[in-house]
Amino acid sequence: MHRLLSLSFLVALLAITGCDTEDSLLGEFVGRVEVDAEARAVDGEAVYTIVETAYGPEFVLGLFVGDLYESDYDEYDYVLFRRPGSRPGVGAYAIATEQGWAVAATIANVEEAGDPLESVGAVLRGVEGTLALTRIDSYGFLSGSFEFEADGLTVTLPTRRVGGAAQGTFEARYEPPATFRRLGIDLGI
């Protein structure tokens, strides 16, 4: 009887949490990031949250290369999206530098951030593109894709202007705002 209950529990748990298939990323992302004509394939964790700001709630979607906790105040590698308001619905959202209801996008790949003389990498802001949310399920996962062009600066002294781009797909899971803050990266939240 005990074995039957355990098997029933496992089947129910699998039905609730779903299966990670080749078509499902379940909290992950895959993509391509280009900075200063150097392109690389990237993958890692996809998470989102809603933070309270002085101007009201803000939706934040973070795509962290590798593991979420591999990024910290001294070394970070991510693509980040921000939009005023709570979690948006299914649809296509413009990535732009203007304020308002556009999505702000950032590409950051920096090492030795704590030492300005030793730091290397770049931080870029999205200037044109789209963040598309294609599915939001009842468990809080949101799926979609992104493609945008970016412009920014190297952090290596002397700094210089660089261009870039990013594209990919994701299936992000919800994390509380404190998870983002614990990373120690200045994400503006």
CA 39 to CA 42: how far, in whole Å? 10
Q: In this model, does residue 2 exceed pLDDT 60?
A: no
User: For position 8, what pLDDT does the model report?
Assistant: 40
Q: Is the dihedral of CA 179, 106, 79, 23 positive or negative?
A: positive
Summarize the confidence of residues 69-74 as an average pLDDT.
72
State the average pLDDT for the chain: 82
Q: How confident is residue 164, by pLDDT bands cut at 50, 70 and 90?
A: very high
Q: Where are the domains of the chain?
A: 25-182
Q: What is the pLDDT of residues 98-109, one digit of tens each?
A: 766 689 999 988
Cβ pair 78, 45 in contact under 8 A: no
Select the more confidently predicted residue: 186 or 20.
186
Q: In this model, does residue 21 exceed pLDDT 50?
A: no
Q: In this model, does residue 41 exceed pLDDT 50?
A: yes
Q: Is the dihedral of CA 21, 86, 52, 184 positive or negative?
A: positive
Rg (CA), the chain: 18
Hey, how many other C-beta atoms are within 10 angstroms of the C-beta on 158? 5
| Residue 67, strand partner residues | none
Q: Is 62 helix (H, G, I), strand (E, B) or coil?
A: strand
The helix or strand, by DSSP H or E, that contains position 148, with its residue range, turns out to be: strand 142-154
CA 170 to CA 61: how far, in whole Å? 10
